[in-house]
Amino acid sequence: MFPENRVIRATEFALKVIPALAVLSVMVQFQFGELHYWPSVMASVLFLLSLPLQGYYWLGQRADTRLPPSLATWYREINGKMNEQGGQRQLVARPRYEELADTLNAAFKQLDKSFLYE
């Protein structure tokens, strides 16, 4: 439903794999390369190391994006159900994805899973 799951998995994978690729790239260049290739190798290494940062930047921008009307309605419904069952959730007038994530996290802790299917 949300592309964030794929971006999170790709960012986590990049954090595990890319440092090794960067070191391998530098080591191969150091062992077999010539001096005039170093600028392009360093540019490639810097690009590789920036990939996880790009994922974090995208996720931060997405968290700050306002919800579309359909998701904003769903956010209000979940908040209403939680408040009916004794929750003290504040309703935000123009919710963002971050508020939706916080509300869903609290709902999974407070409500049973059937609230997703109602």
- Distance CA(58)–CA(46), nearest Å, equals 18
pLDDT at 114: 67
Residue 39: Cβ within 10 Å count? 9
Report residues of the chain scoring pLDDT below 50: none
- Distance CA(85)–CA(16), nearest Å, equals 42
The H or E element containing residue 91 is none
- Distance CA(110)–CA(117), nearest Å, equals 16
